[in-house]
Structure 1
Amino acid sequence: MRRTTASTCCYCGVGCGVLIEHDADTIHGVTGDPAHPANYGRLCSKGSTLHKTGDPAARALYPELRLGKGMARSRTDWDTAMQHAARVFGQTITDFGPDSVAFYISGQLLTEDYYAFNKLARAVVGTNNIDSNSRLCMSSAVVGYKQSLGADSPPCSYEDIEQSDCLLIIGSNMAYAHPVLFRRLEQAKSLDPAKRIIVVDPRRTATCELADVHLGIQPGTDVALLHGILNLLIQQDWIDETFIQTHTGGFDALQSLVGEYTPEHVAGICGIDPEALRQVAQMIGTAPSFLSLWCMGMNQSSAGSAKNSALINLHLATGKIGKPGSGPFSLTGQPNAMGGRETGSLSNLLPGHRDATNAKDRAEVADYWGIEALPDSPGLSAIELFEAVRRGKIKALWIACTNPAQSMPDQTLIREALALCPFVVVQEAFATTETCQFADLLLPASSWGEKNGTVTNSERRVSRVRSAIPAPGEARADWAIACDFAQRLEKQLKPDQPSVFGFHQPQTLFDEFRGLTAKRDLDYSGLSYQLLDALGPQQWPFLPGAERGTARLYADKLFPTIDGRARFIADTYKTVKEQQSTDYPLILNTGRLRDQWHGMSRTGTAAQLFGHVDQAQISLNPADIDRLELHDGQLVRVTSRRGKLVLPVVADEQLQAGQAYIPMHWGDRFLRGGGVNVLTQPAFDPMSGQPELKQAAIRIEPVSLPWDVFILVEGDIQARFSALRDLFEDLAYASFSLAGREEPALLIRAANEQPRNTEWLAEVDLLLGLDQVPVLAYDDPHLAVSKRIKIEGSRIRAVRLCGETKARDWLINLWRNGESTENLQRWLLAPLSAPPGATAASVEKIICNCVNVSHSRIQAAINSGMNLDSLKAELGCGTECGSCLPEIRRLLPAPNAPASTI
């Protein structure tokens, strides 16, 4: 019998409520929860396809143990696995001390999972070596809030998006990264055209389509820009002197500093028109309310903390904080990065927004836990942690629910560290992640739809996550794995002491943790599972006896500092760590795709989500394409000071000359050579520890790989993916993706200097099912051309082209659209032929993934005179999640002048 379970989406920090349709064994559908105040029923393209992800064939199902480096892992039972882990960790701690082990966890864990790992590391092991992939995401925002406002407490609510008169979106392609919030902004703008929207981004992203002004600054120049805006606010007397004098400190030093940032000086640094700076300052200074929204473009920087503080300075100087429609509002990247910050899941933090470096804070937590003391030696942040692993200082590493072999910068060193580490435990739901190959012990974890607990979204709203179906195989909840291990380790390290891990369900973890929030800035000691079930998601603070949460902080103009005043922070502008040079003339930026998420461990299992962008590629401004004498689709070698990568180049007018862009998602699983983070740099902010993933100096040069390969195959995707991935490992270029909707296929595009031999081709054909008739075949050994196509009925089931692939995209479209295959044999017999009746073909780009509407259909409808309303009515595009709307608007002829890019 079908039933519905209310839960929370597992992707970004918007924290959308979802309704899971299931039969207690299988999830059949997902819709937005109209009662959830984060999204009111809206979902993006990723959330709306949650039920199509998580391919069981990609899941980790049973514990697997490797008994020696170089040996294969084999299946084992949970008791053996956990006893082995406890024995190795226990012996390592005994021999080398508690700081010889470390835990690297994830913003995708639930709050209960987080709390269990924190207590495990600090109370049982006695180390602060516990860090999270939130270090790559939000740690600069943490420092910014704490330095300026006294606590890591984002003061705003989503409703401020509708209520604000002026919004500044900086370092965020909100349309792709937080599309549900962007839908709210689009609707608010349509209802109030006078609402001013400013977007600051080196690229002209989809978010810019809604902007009144787009400031296309040079990468990494945010601090100079923000100081320049403040300079003008002061000069024009658009500041709140009463608020500054009564509720802040440090203004005089900041005023002296920003006096140097004149419009002309800032324009020279940022590469913008000084009049644009004046226009933006006037918008902010004269607006009754002012809201700022930001994400990775601000945070992922060696000056990320300074950027955050410089932005908060604008709110403090104008007094536009703690009021409806006003305040600094960081958009969290992961579903529970906020919960991780609350529970202390960064090496320098403790539960309840406490600091591991503060003796009083350590004593409070130790007393609450009933232990003698917490460790006082500093913990290692993510970059430092993996460097310590590589140097042999960390000898046992536990990784949970994250994929550092894809997401960390400078992948060559990360993989070297993982390979050298004597004992690596990977606790993971998906056995296909890049990190799993380094696991000496692989522990299967439950995933979305199978978990029970809580998460906190960007607006401080705590929501319930509920399980709809049991986890597959022998997978266990993350908190349960951590608690099991903790209890076993306690027996080894502290056999005479009582256990501090008497947890048997997530609710007991939540109830213990919320006590550590009491009388703190994030106090939600009044919350419980029962209240959340009765009242729905609630924002903290939520004190005992409260009937609803707190929508907005600092309305009383009191800040959680010693004197109750906020602080202006005066940091000078510093350039990015890597500058353009003769050897490395381009600056690489990384960012998000609309329909993929992070390392694609989940979204990468849904073929539908590859419809918008189906392969890794590097984008350049057309002028740079011409200067380098390249053409669209040409393979190039991209080189940074750390590594090299081969991938196709495409022209993109949204980029400025001298800049390049690669989406962050493509790791070694989908792109041979280690993925995009082979190129990125490990330089990090000294305050936050967050790496500068956004800027790296690179060069691009054409590469000659004359022997090309194309594969399309339906059926048994994950098994074929793994086997073929191994076969293509030593080719110079290989890209892997999925295609289709109801009947998905694996796609491989590859190229090499020299042809492979017949034995290699035979092995590939065996994996593709092309070794048996009936199969259309053509071979020309002299030209090293070999083609195989399998057709069942009138449908293509498998294709393998080697030596020439001119018809590759035509064949993809033919397969995808289910068109007639009558021309195939005639084409097949021509060794170097283009597609029949065409000189060129390209893969149809799906603009609207929800209802499967392609770019060509939308463009044809626009050419026939359709507007946005008629497109929605006739084609259905833009009527479901709405994630395609910015791109559709870009195709439409603008009724008014577009936002100026200045």
Structure 2
Amino acid sequence: MQSQLINRQSSVKDQGIVQSTCAYCGVGCGVDITLSQGKASTLKGTPEHPANFGRLCVKGTHLLETIDLTDRLLVPLVNDNEVCWQDAIDTVATKFKGIINEHGPDAVAFYVSGQMLTEDYYVANKLMKGFIGSGNIDTNSRLCMSSAVSAYKRAFGEDIVPCSYTDLENTDLLVLTGSNAAWTHPVLFQRIERAKQINPNFKVVVVDPRVSATAATADLHLPIKPGTDTALFNGLLNYLLEHDGLDNEYIRQSTEGFTNCMSECSAWTLDKVSNFCAIETKILIQFYQCFLASDKVVTMYSMGINQSTSGVDKCQSIINVHLATGKIGKEGCGPFSITGQPNAMGGREVGGLANQLAAHMEIENEQHRDLVQTFWQSPCIAEKQGAKAVDLFDQIHSGKIKAIWIMATNPLVSLPDNAKIIQAMEQCEFVVVSDCVSSNDTLEFADVKLPATPWIEKNGTVTNSERRISRQRNSLMPAGQAKHDWEIISLVAQAMGYKGFDYNHPQQVFTEFASLSGYKNEGDNSRIFDISGLSALTENQYDLMQPVQWPINEKYPLGCKQLFANGEYATSSAKASFIAVTPKLPEQQINDTYPLSLNSGRYRDQWHTMTRTGKAAKLTQHLAKPFLSINPLDAKKANIENGDIVTVRSKVGEIIAPANITDEQTSGQCFMPIHWNKKFASNATISALYQSNVDPISGQPEAKYTGISVEKLSLAQYGDIFVSDEFAVNADYWLKTKTTFGWHYQMAHAEEKTVSQWTALFGLNGEWLSFENGNTKQLICLVNNKLVCAIYLSAERFSEPLWISEYFSKETVSFADIQLLLSGAAPSREQTSRKVCSCFNVSEYQIEQAIEQGCSSVTELGEQLKCGTNCGSCKPELQSIINSFDAEANDIIPIVEVVNG
């Protein structure tokens, strides 16, 4: 066994370029990492990678700022005591075996992640379903795209994304719904913007309840009532029927179930859709006519569609429209689900979801179970679906599941009904967490903590949203005692006595999986997912593998860009299925107690729970707070002013956040980002507000709608603290943000603290200087005449003197500097203005000045200030600032010129 514990890693270069894949969203951008003396020195987009062609968003651009060893888990821990790997592995194996022997295989579970590589995912799935014999392995991808999976399977017979990124560039009409792509998938959005510049007839329609960065740039924005998307697309299908917009030949030859589908859709007249969706009929007609007049249409959708108690039906209503018009299986057409994580698609391929087997096979299909068990030569096979994410933690809460192994994810932040998840984890008999960080909300409950490799140390493959498999090559050797996830899982499997896990390299895992995808893939077992063409790769060939879209087999040796081109599908009849869907409103409705609805989503420069992006100071300069965005009318009713700290309550929990009053929110609706957690804020974990309502088919929780109330929090003292090093926080409200010089804290107390109480927080042996002016106090600490801490206290609200950052970079501060720092008075608006372009550090003030001096386009701003010329993520906001200088622009809904069908 000891020999198996030797680190088996691919060697990495000391010099040169390593081509890898970005660690963030499902776009799957290629990155070139330049190594110098064994260290990653620069990172750029890979020019020839077909996902991004050299483009990177702001998060990808600053990846190398996130790879330091701060807060890394570097050694195995059992009950927070450092142990050797052998002891850690034996502890996990022994405990899992004991629970399985006493309570059965369904008493244990794995909860895995779209952050894992395909090889990691495959080995975890193999161990749980083929050797332990339970379906209890699910993934955080359940929270982002499982509704899309279920709809694709229901319509096509298999989880097949029929589109490619080139379809986005070669369409006539792109419909974006449930997606703020400008912020969540910026590189794709850049490709879309470029396509619009090339093709003046290219139109973009955005369906979104709020004026997002994406909606602000659309040709037509449909601000529908949250949760009413199914009605919108049912109405579209009815409109197309009435205006001779259907492809009746395609319906006859390639589909079934159309009559039943139309029996539901025929009831959705323009007036009914208008009332249900709370949108003007004239805007509906503009959209419907534009769809009718366009030969090629792509509908691109993401979390806003999927994260719903009727998410599968929403996806299905989109698919129905494309099937009925024949706008599928050809260039520039199709229903295109965009995934949120770098390897959400890879998890789907290997059966990472609790209701799947590997290689797109089904647990409830006896032939598939026999096939997989025979291939694995496993002692058993899961015979029924396991517990999906929300149910899995419910079963931990009830005591049915007694041991959980969590890998590369933070469910204490991401799962709904946070209070219940905490209770479940507190009473769980045995918790194992594999992660690359030493602390987060979930690790607090771990009995065993296993150090896993992060992005830059991982070696394997990922699959992006267009079915493209890319190599993620490690640029650095594993730090400390960290191991790859596939390796850790294999060692535990061996310690449990299972054979078939003696892998020495990820290539062995990958080629085994590729072989399984083609194993008896014929006749009744025929599946479109087939990468058997890669099953004979040598280690060298695997290392050199270039990005390729599946299927990859004898029929498609170089991969396949366009699926369903022949009108044949993966169903038993070879026809796609229409499904009649009835629009349903969200289950978590508003009421008199909770009169506002809450939507959630991502910020441009942050990612998931900020484990990575929270380390990069460049990524906190754009939006550094978990604001609750609220309409001015709603704020006025609650007596809330911009910047007030508010308590947000729902039926199941409450959080605290600053209020951001904005016209971009429709009255009655609020928005808040998902990223903040106990590591960065006192109480801003938005999952605490959502109930655990799920789609009955997909099991995906509803995370876009719940009823809330908002109330101003009574606070007596506010403090902005700038300090070189982190410190332990104790306050009624606090927020922590990484800066170029250290950290910026905001702390507020219900009762005023004395100056000595504030200075005692830091234990600094320096010279404290202070100045008091009425209700404000300014304190600074100098060590050898260098600024190491600055505190700005106020009785009203945070002063946010971000301009002081530059003074921390000075080796000594002058007397004039000290006077300025103690006055608390900003030198100029230029130094207090927020950053819009993180790549070139361009502020809103600079942009406004350039506009006043004559810049009237994003291109001209780029030429003068460079903003928007690197990753392009800030372009929508640049355009918004330009629009704000034109009073008329704010009042006009862009109109698409259409031709009546």
- 1:900 corresponds to which of 890, 894, 899: 894
- The equivalent of 1:230 in structure 2 is 237
- The equivalent of 2:524 in structure 1 is none
Q: In the aligned structure 1, how far is the partner of 2:797 from the partner of 2:819?
A: 15
Q: Which runs of structure 2 are paired with 1:278-357 in the superposition (5 Å)?
A: 278-357=285-364
- 1:56 corresponds to which of 54, 69, 76: 69
Supply the AA of the counterpart residue of 2:592. Answer: T
Name the SS for the 2:412 alignment partner. helix
Is the Cα–Cα contact under 8 Å of residues 248 and 566 in structure 1 kept in the other structure? yes
- 1:214 corresponds to which of 208, 213, 221: 221
Q: In the aligned structure 2, how far is the partner of 1:777 from the partner of 1:209?
A: 46
1:377 CA drift (Å)? 3.6
Q: In the aligned structure 2, how far is the partner of 1:747 from the partner of 1:446?
A: 29
Query: Do residues 540 (structure 1) and 550 (structure 2) align?
Result: yes
Is the Cα–Cα contact under 8 Å of residues 155 and 578 in structure 2 kept in the other structure? yes
Superposition TM-score, scaled by structure 1 size: 0.92
Query: CA offsets, 1:111-135, max 9 Å, x none?
Result: 0000100011012211110000000
1:446 CA drift (Å)? 0.5
Query: Do residues 875 (structure 1) and 865 (structure 2) align?
Result: yes
Query: Do residues 852 (structure 1) and 841 (structure 2) align?
Result: yes
- The equivalent of 2:769 in structure 1 is 776
Aligned length in residues: 866
Is the Cα–Cα contact under 8 Å of residues 526 and 545 in structure 1 kept in the other structure? no
**What 5-or-longer segments of structure 1 have no aligned partner?**
67-72, 492-498
**1:16–1:415 CA distance, 2 compared to 1 (3 A):** same
Supply the AA of the counterpart residue of 2:511. Answer: D
Higher mean displacement: 815-824 or 455-464? 815-824
Query: Do residues 735 (structure 1) and 735 (structure 2) align?
Result: yes
- The equivalent of 2:7 in structure 1 is none
Q: In the aligned structure 1, how far is the partner of 2:754 from the partner of 2:641?
A: 30
Is the Cα–Cα contact under 8 Å of residues 24 and 470 in structure 1 kept in the other structure? no
1:794 CA drift (Å)? 8.1
- The equivalent of 1:889 in structure 2 is 879
- The equivalent of 1:494 in structure 2 is none
**What 5-or-longer segments of structure 2 have no aligned partner?**
1-13, 522-526, 897-901
Q: In the aligned structure 2, how far is the partner of 1:182 from the partner of 1:378?
A: 37
- 1:799 corresponds to which of 782, 790, 799: 790
- The equivalent of 1:510 in structure 2 is 510
Q: Which runs of structure 2 are paired with 1:146-161 in the superposition (5 Å)?
A: 146-161=153-168
Name the SS for the 2:235 alignment partner. helix
Q: In the aligned structure 2, how far is the partner of 1:751 from the partner of 1:701?
A: 16
**1:205–1:760 CA distance, 2 compared to 1 (3 A):** same
- The equivalent of 2:376 in structure 1 is 369
- The equivalent of 2:643 in structure 1 is 633
- 1:116 corresponds to which of 117, 123, 143: 123
Supply the AA of the counterpart residue of 2:43. Answer: V
- The equivalent of 2:5 in structure 1 is none
Q: In the aligned structure 1, how far is the partner of 2:86 from the partner of 2:827?
A: 64
Is the Cα–Cα contact under 8 Å of residues 63 and 442 in structure 1 kept in the other structure? yes
Q: In the aligned structure 2, how far is the partner of 1:793 from the partner of 1:181?
A: 50
Query: CA offsets, 1:631-659, max 9 Å, x none?
Result: 11011111011111111101122111100
Query: Do residues 748 (structure 1) and 742 (structure 2) align?
Result: no
- The equivalent of 2:4 in structure 1 is none
- The equivalent of 2:632 in structure 1 is 622
1:535 CA drift (Å)? 6.1
- The equivalent of 2:41 in structure 1 is 28
1:761 CA drift (Å)? 3.5
Q: Which runs of structure 2 are paired with 1:605-684 in the superposition (5 Å)?
A: 605-673=615-683, 675-684=685-694
- 2:31 corresponds to which of 14, 18, 38: 18
1:532 CA drift (Å)? 6.0
Is the Cα–Cα contact under 8 Å of residues 657 and 684 in structure 2 kept in the other structure? no
Is the Cα–Cα contact under 8 Å of residues 267 and 273 in structure 1 kept in the other structure? yes
Name the SS for the 1:40 alignment partner. coil
- The equivalent of 2:196 in structure 1 is 189
- The equivalent of 1:69 in structure 2 is none
1:75 CA drift (Å)? 1.1
Is the Cα–Cα contact under 8 Å of residues 98 and 127 in structure 1 kept in the other structure? yes
Is the Cα–Cα contact under 8 Å of residues 739 and 745 in structure 1 kept in the other structure? yes
Query: Do residues 416 (structure 1) and 423 (structure 2) align?
Result: yes
Query: CA offsets, 1:293-348, max 9 Å, x none?
Result: 01000000000000000000010010010010001111111000000000000110
1:191 CA drift (Å)? 1.0
Query: CA offsets, 1:176-203, max 9 Å, x none?
Result: 1110000000000011121111100111
Is the Cα–Cα contact under 8 Å of residues 107 and 335 in structure 1 kept in the other structure? yes
Is the Cα–Cα contact under 8 Å of residues 362 and 373 in structure 1 kept in the other structure? no
Q: In the aligned structure 2, how far is the partner of 1:884 from the partner of 1:187?
A: 15
Q: In the aligned structure 2, how far is the partner of 1:139 from the partner of 1:843?
A: 43
1:848 CA drift (Å)? 0.6
**1:442–1:756 CA distance, 2 compared to 1 (3 A):** farther
Supply the AA of the counterpart residue of 1:351. Answer: A
RMSD over aligned Cα, in angstroms? Answer: 2.3
Query: Do residues 712 (structure 1) and 722 (structure 2) align?
Result: yes
**1:261–1:835 CA distance, 2 compared to 1 (3 A):** same
Name the SS for the 1:417 alignment partner. helix
Q: In the aligned structure 1, how far is the partner of 2:802 from the partner of 2:29?
A: 38
Query: Do residues 46 (structure 1) and 59 (structure 2) align?
Result: yes
Q: In the aligned structure 1, how far is the partner of 2:384 from the partner of 2:613?
A: 39
Q: In the aligned structure 2, how far is the partner of 1:694 from the partner of 1:201?
A: 12
Is the Cα–Cα contact under 8 Å of residues 386 and 414 in structure 1 kept in the other structure? yes
- The equivalent of 1:93 in structure 2 is 100
Name the SS for the 2:268 alignment partner. coil
1:758 CA drift (Å)? 7.6
Superposition TM-score, scaled by structure 2 size: 0.92
**1:25–1:60 CA distance, 2 compared to 1 (3 A):** farther
Q: In the aligned structure 2, how far is the partner of 1:370 from the partner of 1:433?
A: 38
Is the Cα–Cα contact under 8 Å of residues 440 and 679 in structure 2 kept in the other structure? yes
Name the SS for the 2:70 alignment partner. helix
Query: Do residues 810 (structure 1) and 801 (structure 2) align?
Result: yes
Is the Cα–Cα contact under 8 Å of residues 111 and 339 in structure 1 kept in the other structure? yes
Name the SS for the 2:665 alignment partner. coil
**1:239–1:821 CA distance, 2 compared to 1 (3 A):** farther
Q: In the aligned structure 2, how far is the partner of 1:590 from the partner of 1:672?
A: 19
- The equivalent of 1:863 in structure 2 is 852
- The equivalent of 1:496 in structure 2 is none
Q: In the aligned structure 1, how far is the partner of 2:801 from the partner of 2:125?
A: 53
- The equivalent of 1:70 in structure 2 is none
Identity across the alignment (%) = 39
Q: In the aligned structure 2, how far is the partner of 1:816 from the partner of 1:323?
A: 58
1:367 CA drift (Å)? 1.0
1:261 CA drift (Å)? 0.7
Query: CA offsets, 1:91-121, max 9 Å, x none?
Result: 1111111111100000111000001000110
Query: CA offsets, 1:418-449, max 9 Å, x none?
Result: 11111110000112322111111110000111
Is the Cα–Cα contact under 8 Å of residues 461 and 538 in structure 1 kept in the other structure? yes
Is the Cα–Cα contact under 8 Å of residues 532 and 538 in structure 1 kept in the other structure? no
Is the Cα–Cα contact under 8 Å of residues 35 and 41 in structure 2 kept in the other structure? yes
Name the SS for the 1:490 alignment partner. coil
